[in-house]
Amino acid sequence: MEIGLAVGGAFLSSALNVLFERLAPQGELLKIFQRGKHDVGLLKKLRLTLLGLQAVLSDAENKQTSNRYVNQWLNELRDAVDSAENLMEEINYEVLRVKVEGQHQNHAEVSNQQVSGLNLCLSDGFFVNIKEKLEGTTKTLEELEKQIGRLGLKEYLASGKQETRVPSTSLVNDSDIFGRQNEIEFLVDSLLSVDADGKTYSVIPIVGMAGVGKTTLAKAVYNNEKVKDHFNLTAWFCVSEPYDASRITKGLLEEIGSSNLMLDNNFNQLQIKLKESLKGKKFLIVLDDVWNDNYLEWVELINPFAQGEIGSKIIVTTRKKSVAMTMGNEQISMDTLSSDVSWSLFERHAFDNMDPKEHLGHVEVGKQIAAKCKGLPLALKTIAGLLRSKSEIEEWRRILTSEIWELPDNGILPTLMLSYNDLPVHLKQCFSYCAIFPKDYPFNKEQVIQLWIANGLVQRLQKDKIIEDSGNQYFLELRSRSLFERVPSSFQGGTEKFLMHDLVNDLAQVTSSRLCINLEDNKGSDMVGRCRHLSYSGGYNGDFEKLKPLYKLEQLRTLLPINDNYHLLGINPLPK
């Protein structure tokens, strides 16, 4: 898998944070060792070793796709960290066992202080066993730490987001636009109308997931003859990341055709120049691929726009609902294409070199491939483009049975990966965890939040708030970024449920390094042996024979049963 982007590190980072919490100098674990008069130096050594490894983790994640030795090092680090986690769990279990047995011995009349004392009375035999395991795990981690220099890994502090998207242009091929006539007509009408509030300009955000056609819609109206005749001045600029107000202002000036741009990056002078260029003119500006939802930075950027004539418009395309809300205007939400329109778009690109009527076998397979794309224009065009040069039907069938990330030279996952890269670490791990759900699985928000909490992926944002509130904020943020989509009400059965588009589910599989999987989707795969979080289909009377091999999975953290009929029924509550 060559996508040139670091993946799979969110869970490792989360596991390290959990270990640091348990190995804290004033933590309960060290107190247990101290009061039992056992060597605490080993725990301190483990913590310092983990700190050294964490310092280069980001650099390793960035290099793993281009350096197979770094990739192997990361895999070994994951295994070693898992072993350390298992040891912590083993200690926690022993503490709990002693506490429970102590309560029974005292007929549940032991005071809290006495129970706490019981926690410390762990047997010498247990400590000997744990010490041996700790020494082995620490030695492994120390060996990995020694390899840091040889692998060229360094402490890495992200200096900003890196742009990985090819900048868009305003040019459009009308024959390439399918199924968007209603959106085009609505947007053209909005551009030609004057707002009742009398403001100089208004902002129209176009929101949707990666590859759904936001930029294509903006191009279609930008090049509409009525629109071009209506405005005195038009400008197109692809913003992307990293956000830079000076770069955007300068780019707009270049689009307008302003001369004398020997202003370098003097933001003040650039803004003054833009203000003069827009004064008294009815303008249309398209800001494509906007990610920054910082309100103050947005207000600063658009100051010159107030000099335009009443009726001026700004179109903003974004994957994030928070960006649209920052603009403070009603948004256009882009949905995926219908199955009929999807096939028309796919046929247009895949059968350019052959007549569909003479290749009915190709048509049959092609329709299955188009259905697999679930209405996403980017995927339809990309895969159809791969097939247009393949005349053998076996090659088409091979594409049909391949996973998206296995296809050669395609830009689907890298485009989707931009959405993942923009997430903060705590949301990356929560999103990646959702790879545990099979495709088309309608999940319940409350269930997902409880699973995140149970796996230590949610942190309380404020001391006076319950942890579920934090989980709810996490969920809403992922939904606002178009990674979760609400199931239409006709399929909900009275309970609000959500889905991930199939390609977003594929993205989660990749970003989790296949550590979160569904058993039925991975039958016979070696992924089952290395997974950490596993779901299985079975309902209430499921076949449990398939679960027997799982007892060997020492690293398994989640075993989640889901209803066999989820395609129709959604999630049913587990029996109490």
Please give, one letter per residue, the 3-state secondary structure of 141-167.
HHHHHHHHHHCCCCCCCCCCCCCCCCC
User: What DSSP assignment string belongs to 438-478?
Assistant: PTT--EEHHHHHHHHHHTT----SSTTS-HHHHHHHHHHHH
Locus of tokens 């550590």:
515
Give every residue of the chain whose pLDDT is below 50, as ranges: 1-6, 107-120, 158-160, 490, 492, 567-576
Give the predicted TM-score (pTM) of the model: 0.77
**Contact by Cβ (8 Å): 362, 390:** no
Angle, in degrees to the nearest 10, between helices 124-150 and 68-105: 160
Alpha helices in 106-244 (DSSP H): 112-120, 124-150, 181-192, 214-222, 225-230
Answer for the pair 163, 242: CB distance below 8 angstroms, yes or no: yes
Kindly list the distances between the CA atom of residue 6 and the CA atoms of 9, 405, 496, in Å, as whole numbers in the listed order: 8, 14, 34
- pLDDT value of position 268: 92
Q: Give the pLDDT confidence score for residue 103 in this predicted structure.
A: 67
Phi-psi group of 513: left, alpha or beta (phi > 0 → left; psi -120 to 50 → alpha; rest → beta): left
Contact 258, 273 (CB under 8 A): yes
Determine which helix (DSSP H) or strand (DSSP E) holds 435, and give its type and residue range: none
Give the count of beta carbons closer than 10 Å to the beta carbon of residue 359. Answer: 16
Strand ranges, E, within 248-299: 283-288
Torsion from C-alpha of 373, 375, 379, 380, nearest 10 degrees: 90
Q: What is the pLDDT of residue 111?
A: 41
Domain residue ranges in the chain: 8-102+122-151, 180-334, 339-422, 429-451+484-562
Using CA atoms, how far apart are residues 513 and 437, in angstroms rounded to an integer? Answer: 15
Cα–Cα distance measured from residue 238 to residue 247, given in angstroms and rounded to the nearest whole number: 10
Per-residue model confidence (pLDDT) at position 110 = 43
Looking at residue 106, its pLDDT comes to 57
Largest CA distance in the chain: 88
Query: What would the pLDDT profile of 348-358 be if each residue is shown by its tens digit?
Result: 999 988 899 99
CA 116 to chain centre: 42
Q: Tell me whether strands 497-499 and 443-444 are parallel, antiparallel or unpaired.
A: antiparallel
Amino acid at 20: F
- In this predicted structure, what is the pLDDT of residue 140? 95
Q: Which CATH class is domain 180-334?
A: alpha beta
Q: What is the pLDDT of residue 189?
A: 95
Separation CA 60–CA 155 (nearest Å): 9
